[in-house]
Amino acid sequence: MPEAPQTPQPQLEAQKKNTGMAIVAYILFFIPLLTDSKNDPFVKYHVKQGFGLFICGLALSVLRWILPWFLGWIIDLASLGIFILFIIGIINASNGEEKPLPLIGKLANELKIV
């Protein structure tokens, strides 16, 4: 009976590392840029998505600071949306998928980070 082809172990380890770095890209987007994973297209994709979330969160923080008494509840609701997008991004990265995040994913993918 012929043996089934086996996946080489180093390739499997590299894929786990890249998935891990893609997840880290949503938590601290710049960390994967400091490692050798910055050349991996999968990691770059998720770094761009994470950076897009960071920019949106930063913009909402500035708006919250400028307009604390006016439209504050809308900004809080948008912040909850950013958190939900953060969770979706981590799930996509852990599944090894390159799906753009709703609302900001296509714009974030156009960013020139690396």
**Verdict on whether the full-model pTM lies above 0.85:** no
Q: Mean pLDDT per 10-residue run, the chain (114 residues)? A: 55 63 91 88 91 93 81 86 94 91 84 72
pLDDT score, position 75: 86
pLDDT score, position 110: 81
For 12-28, give one letter per residue: b (16+ CB within 10 A) or e: eeeeeebbebbbbbbee
